[in-house]
Amino acid sequence: MNDHPVAGHPLPQQVEAKRRFPLRLVLLPGADSARNPWWVVLISMILALIVCGIFIAMNGMNPLIVYKKMVTGAFGSSYGLSETLVKAIPLLLCGIGVSIAYRISFWNIGAEGQFAAGAIAATAVTIYFPSLPMYFSIPLMALFGILAGGLWGLLTALPRIYFRVNELITSLMLNYVALLALDYVVFGPWRDPEGFNFPGTPVFTAAQSLPVLGSTRLHAGLIIGLVAAALYAITIRYTKWGYELRVIGANPEAAKHAGMPLSKHILLVMLISGGLAGIAGMSEVSGVTHRLMYGISPGYGYTAIIVAWLAKLNPIGLVVSSVLFGGLIVGGYSVQTIGLPSSISNMLQGAILFFLIAGGFIGRLRLRRNV
């Protein structure tokens, strides 16, 4: 018996399989989790709350009480709200940065290292030019932060363009390099001699600190973040460059045939992306900690990836999701008063990311009829 199909004719076994299973699942190409429909985002968050709630219940706590404590801790008072906005500032700036890179399908997961590079460079101004007045020191710190973060971003872009090195690998590795460089300076040459052996630089002067709102810790970095979000929205929607970014992200081959310089766009995008993360680092040291110190970031650069995906790269969505995740961090601190560790917020962040990725995969599945 001949088991080989005649050209254009299926095997009998294939015909029988199609009779038994008239429908099949097909995985569509080209989609990613950052462009999920809103219902996928909403369901991902609900599932994350349910799954984390199960773990909370297994530890003998009522999940509803815990979630209520987190919400009231983050948004239930003027102090909690101001702290939430303080945490939202670096998330917003880093989130805008990674969103710009994702627009051209460049997977920048190096915002953590770019944040650290910006913080180091901004602090260098206070170390080597300690007597500058505010109208010189703050702009110079911002400039150094942007340049350092941007250059750190270019270290990811250049190997991708000239050596075809995957940016996921280089951006992740450069995070560790930047964080180890930060540890070196705060434990070594920049450590405050009057800091009781604490790994940190001398405290910034008033001329080296961003202005704050009243008696809160909410600082002028919020204005920087909102201006950056507005510029991002205008650029993506109304400029030729923004249009080219959208075309490259949708179809790189078509963009290449249309004469769009992909390498130039990658370089410029990573310079801007890293610069935004760099100024986030500058705003953190100048507006919040007022010194460069060990562990200055609780993972802002990594959390910004979830912020960007949750917002679907949308400017308004970035503002909302950065405030949401800022509240999640502050809420994590507040649950310590009822006996839970603050890492509950990290568990929620991880669960949300997991379900966003799973939702992106499921959203690509389609039922097709066997013919």
* pLDDT of 361 strictly over 80: no
**Residues of the chain with pLDDT > 90: what percent?**
75
* pLDDT of 264 strictly over 90: yes
Q: What is the mean pLDDT of residues 49-69?
A: 94
CATH code that applies to domain 44-362 = 1.10.3470
Q: Where are the domains of the chain?
A: 44-362
**Residues of the chain with pLDDT > 70: what percent?**
89
Q: What is the pLDDT of residues 170-208, one digit of tens each?
A: 999 999 999 999 999 999 999 999 988 899 999 999 999
Judged by average pLDDT, the poorest of 115-119, 171-175, 330-334, 339-343 is 339-343
Q: What is the pLDDT of residues 268-291, one digit of tens each?
A: 999 999 999 999 999 999 999 999
Q: What is the pLDDT of residues 88-142, one digit of tens each?
A: 999 999 999 999 999 998 999 999 999 999 999 999 999 999 999 999 999 999 9
- Print the SS3 string covering the chain: CCCCCCCCCCCHHHHHHHHHCCEEEEECCCCCHHHCCHHHHHHHHHHHHHHHHHHHHHCCCCHHHHHHHHHHHHHCCHHHHHHHHHHHHHHHHHHHHHHHHHHCCCCCCCHHHHHHHHHHHHHHHHHHCCCCCHHHHHHHHHHHHHHHHHHHHHHHHHHHHHHCCCHHHHHHHHHHHHHHHHHHHHHCCCCCCCCCCCCECCCCCHHHCCCECCCCCCECHHHHHHHHHHHHHHHHHHCHHHHHHHHHHHCHHHHHHCCCCHHHHHHHHHHHHHHHHHHHHHHHHHHHHCCCECCCCCCHHHHHHHHHHHHCCCHHHHHHHHHHHHHHHHHHHHHHHHCCCCCHHHHHHHHHHHHHHHHHHHCCEEEEECC
